[in-house]
Amino acid sequence: MEKSTTSDQHDVLAQLFSQHVCAREFLDNGEVQEAISILETVWKHPKVDEYPRSLDLQYDLAQAYKENGQLKQSISLLESVVTAEEELPEDSTNRLASKFALTQAYLEDGQFEKAIAILNDVIKAEETLPRTHPTRLATIEQLALAHKAKGDWKQAMVLFENVVAAREALPEDDPSRLASQMLLASTYRENGLARNAVQVLEHVVSVQEAQQPQCRFLTENRHALALAYKESGLLKEAIELQRQVVADRVTAFPKDHRIVLFSKQELAMMYGADHQWVEAVPLLKYVLEVKESALPSDDQSLTDIRRTLEQFKAGAIEDTA
């Protein structure tokens, strides 16, 4: 009888493991609802307390909840995992990963102070890692994002600058180095430091044009640089680069695709800011005509474009008067 009971228990745990693995496959494949359904079934099983990978199960279910927008449920599970792992060494990979996941959930839920407190603890635990270790830098970037989300721009900039400086030891075209530079440039722009952003973005775009011309982010980075030029008052440079952005997107998307129209509208606005009415008016008129065929006549975006177009026409008349 004892052997039979042991065998039955083994079969149950094996079944739970099999279901868990299946759910992970669904989760990795982006099939979140299916993953949640299976993970919840395993989690509610009466023998789950005897399942050796119950913490992994909680973690996976929490991640699935987060991807499904169920942040409260995700946070509750992750808090439980983090508490259970307190007996592990501070620098345990599992413990740090769980804390990192919890901070991400806190950030998405707007609980910035809690996220910052945990990230500071994680950074202390990672002090034994080399200054340029990817894990350590990823944590610092996450802390910077938390400060940024909280509105503490200065602290966010200092942290992003530290990460960018640390990653200067990597090759110029290293993806993580370029990504860090883009985060810093974005923070500069959002804090009104457009000229600082220009310096960073010019380097990023130059590297990608020389070494990664097929990079899917090149057009987006050119666009960011064009906007930084505009915000810095460098309209000639902004227009030249935005024309390249439009050309890139016309090649990649249908001519009436929203991203193409958006890019052309931004170019028209740059022309207008530079009083190049001959270019601005027909380009903005084209955008308006295409959008009018797809949107209700009283759509607010159409009203805004019509108003801007009239201002451009008035500007053209005034300049020729």
Looking at residue 20, its pLDDT comes to: 93
pLDDT in tens, 121-142: 999 988 888 988 999 999 999 9
pLDDT in tens, 170-199: 999 999 999 999 999 999 999 999 999 999
Mean pLDDT of 109-121: 94
pLDDT band of 316, cuts 50, 70, 90:
confident
pTM of the model: 0.81
Amino acid letter, 277: W
User: 3-state DSSP call for residue 216?
Assistant: coil
pLDDT in tens, 16-29: 898 999 999 999 99
Amino acid letter, 201: L
The phi-psi region of residue 303 (left if phi > 0; otherwise alpha if psi is between -120 and 50; otherwise beta) is: alpha
> CB 229: neighbour CB atoms within 10 A?
25
Give ∠ CA 178-181-182 in degrees, rounded to 5: 90
Amino acid letter, 83: T
Report the distance separating Cα 176 and Cα 183, nearest Å.
11
pLDDT band of 50, cuts 50, 70, 90:
confident
Looking at residue 1, its pLDDT comes to: 44
pLDDT band of 8, cuts 50, 70, 90:
low
Looking at residue 49, its pLDDT comes to: 87
Pair of tokens at residue 70: 């169920």
